[in-house]
Structure 1
Amino acid sequence: MTATAVRPAAHAPEADGAVLFGRYAFPPNERGYCGPDRAAELLERVSMRASGAALAEVARGFEGAWPYLELIGESLGRAPLDPVVVRTYWLGGPLLVRCGGRRFVSSLESRFRPRLTRLDFERLATAVTHGATPHHSFHVFGVYPWVGLLRGGHGDAPLEVLDRCRISWGRVVAIDVDDGESVLVETPRLAWDGRRLMLAPPRLEPMRLRRGGLRLARAVEPGDVVSLHWDWICDRLSAADLADLRRSTATELAAVNACTYSAPATVLA
């Protein structure tokens, strides 16, 4: 997908951090992978932009993501659900530089060191020395076991999970005019060459825009650039959003690829 092939939508950024968090958190929550068992409520609140204490409570129930929000917020002097913090966690950007390094290693140590062997924890710390930051892609690529399974020759299933669990981007090509729920998106997918992860050329993929009249993203149209999580469209992306997401994805891929050993062998929340 080249720069001339996309038309990033011009729109005001989401001003409510809890709603923004829910847009990206719902797809794995719907599948039971993370967060509290409140997926239906989460979708409804995000679709209706019904923020408040209840939605914030749901967000705090995401035990994998919430500590990253706390770390980013502490580093930037903002609350965990400040929209700048939430955007930085899901989409990335230059502010992540202020959240990495020793501060990030200390956070990882307090979270994961008691559950890991010395070698396994050193794998996480080494990724940070290679530039890893508290971006969602780091948790997907570095903490989860899927890269290790790929290196162990466990077939294509780990690659599929890695690809769907990261936040990706794509260009809307067509919308199903019959139900308005299915959208065809041109998006780059992950590839594995036996040693490292990389982005492959884009291909057309069907994505979900809504379910039962409820949706995560604001209205989209062909040509819009959108963010993707699992099989859902989460939001429209501005040019700055797209640039930050692409750059942060590349940073986390490079950090994990620089480690010559597998990822931890145990799934960590």
Structure 2
Amino acid sequence: MAGGGAEMFARYAYAPNRLGYCGPPDAAALRDGSDDQVRAVARRFTGAWPYLRVMATMTGIADPLDRRLVESYWLGGGIGADLDPAEFTAELLALLGPAAGGYWTHLGPELADEAAANHCFHVFGVYPWSRLVRQANGHPVQVLDNCRITWGTVLGRTDTEIALRCRVLGWDGQRLVLSAETVRSVPVGMDGYPTVPVSVGEQVAVHWGRLCGRLDDAQVRALAASTERQLEVTNQRLATRR
């Protein structure tokens, strides 16, 4: 995937921001803004920005929006995968300080065994939704599935939609699990955001129903591994804390 860290941050952050789930009400800046404007918006993300700051500190990389950090945060693997989970959790808590309540209510030292320096941990560990999956209506699982980064293979496309072969998240009554591969449709574009040029057979990432960009084989492996690892440790928590 081409582009710098700020561009990649904007592509993955745009859909939840537009929906009002994450970050300040500046979706247009993520879509149309300059590098400097995207950076200004990124600093106001309550979720992603603290991760990137801690990752920058622990790796010695000066710019939290360095492409290596942004990719590692959204997809797992990469430079953030080598960070010690307990140390990362402690650094994150120290950075947040009093703000560790509220939005970060579920982040505490007890999550250190589950922690990872990536978005998947934030979705399944810090967000409240994994604690609500036993609700019969299935809504928490749908939120988790939309919020995680999904990988898939393009099967076909029209002017407006892409047919994608991917796996979806489910709850089998005991565990969060990924389904066998199925086919879903995602829109080619959203609100005038520049579309990602993709062809049949290419692998892509999707976040909150939006196509974020192409993935190479190494990125797919990293995303799949970080997702499967997070589901395993989150399921261990769910089995012991009802």
Return the TM-score normalized by structure 2.
Answer: 0.89
Which residue matches 1:68?
51
Which amino acid in 2 is paired with 1:60? R
- d(CA) in 2 for partners of 1:108, 1:233: 29
Q: Is 1:223–2:201 an aligned residue pair?
A: yes
Which runs of 4 or more aligned residues in structure 1 lie more than 6 Å from their structure 2 counterparts after TM superposition? none
Which residue of structure 2 lines up, in the alignment, with residue 25 of structure 1?
Answer: 13
Task: Look up the match of 1:84.
Answer: 68
- 1 CA distance for matches of 2:126 and 2:60? 26
Closer/same/farther in 2, CA of residues 182 and 44 from structure 1, 3 Å limit: farther
User: By how many angstroms is 1:195 displaced?
Assistant: 2.0
SS in 1 for 2:91: helix
> 1:165 and 2:147 equivalent?
yes
1:235 corresponds in structure 2 to 213
2:167 aligns to what SS in structure 1?
strand
Matches within 5 A, 1:1-269: 13-45=1-33, 50-51=34-35, 53-78=36-61, 79-110=63-94, 111=96, 114-115=100-101, 121=107, 124-130=108-114, 132-151=115-134, 153-176=135-158, 180-211=159-190, 213-215=192-194, 217=196, 219-259=197-237, 260-261=240-241
Long gaps (5+) in structure 2: none
Task: State percent identity of aligned pairs.
Answer: 36
Would the aligned equivalents of 1:127 and 1:255 in 2 still touch at CA under 8 Å? no
How far does residue 109 in structure 1 lie from its aligned partner after superposition? 2.8
Conserved 8 A contact 1:59-1:66: yes
The higher-RCO structure (CA 8 Å, 6+ apart) is: 1
1:186-234: per-residue Cα shift (whole Å, max 9, x none)?
11001111222111112111112213553353x1011110001011110
Alignment partners' CA distance in 2, 1:223 and 1:98: 31
Contact 1:185–1:204 (8 Å) recurs in 2: yes
Give the drift of 1:184. Answer: 1.3
- Give 1:265's aligned residue: none
Distance 1:164 1:250 in 2: 16
In the aligned structure 2, how far is the partner of 1:201 from the partner of 1:25?
Answer: 27
Per the alignment, in what secondary structure is the counterpart of residue 211 of structure 1?
coil
> 1:88–1:95: 8 Å Cα contact kept in structure 2?
yes
Shift of 1:17: 0.7
Using structure 1 for the length normalisation, give the TM-score.
Answer: 0.81
Shift of the 133–103 alpha-carbon distance from structure 1 to 2, 3 Å rule, reads same
**SS of residue paired to 1:89:** helix
Equivalent residue pairs, number: 235
Q: After superposing the two structures, state which structure 1 stretch, 32-41 or 60-69, moved more.
A: 32-41
